[in-house]
């Protein structure tokens, strides 16, 4: 499916989600539900935000993580490609999207910086 058609198809499939919008970013498009960044549209593929538990569902179906190259290194993000059969089934796709939105709402734990005291 050509990329422009795909960029129209995915929002149509996800039309039941509130406050859905796509925004151009780094040659791809980010999907947002309100202020929650939960998906990536890139080169005719859809990726959803994952955590350790949900990523297993994607990898069990043969789907990989979103990767990109920066400064000669390949970096992997916590987004996995949505299986084609899920993509074609709007009700199921919406369920997967809702799970991705919930994951996107969880703030990552940040390490506390230790305070060094002068001697």
Pairing of strands 36-42, 20-25: unpaired
pLDDT tens-place string over residues 8-61: 788 778 887 888 888 888 888 989 999 999 999 998 999 999 999 999 999 999
Tell me the whole-structure pTM to 2 decimals.
0.81
> What is the pLDDT confidence band of residue 72, given thresholds at 50, 70 and 90?
very high
Q: Hey, what domains does the chain have and what are their CATH numbers?
A: 3-105 (3.30.1460.30)
């Amino acid at each position: 499916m050509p990329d422009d058609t795909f960029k129209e198809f995915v929002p149509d499939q996800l039309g039941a989600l509130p406050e859905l919008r796509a925004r151009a970013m780094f040659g791809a498009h980010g999907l947002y539900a309100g202020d929650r960044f939960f998906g990536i549209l890139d080169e005719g593929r859809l990726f959803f935000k994952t955590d350790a538990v949900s990523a297993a569902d994607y990898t069990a179906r043969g789907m990989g993580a979103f990767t990109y190259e920066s400064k000669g290194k390949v970096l992997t993000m916590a987004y996995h490609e949505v299986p084609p059969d899920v993509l074609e089934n709007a009700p199921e796709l919406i369920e997967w999207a809702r799970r991705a939105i919930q994951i996107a709402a969880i703030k990552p734990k940040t390490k506390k910086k230790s305070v060094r005291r002068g001697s």
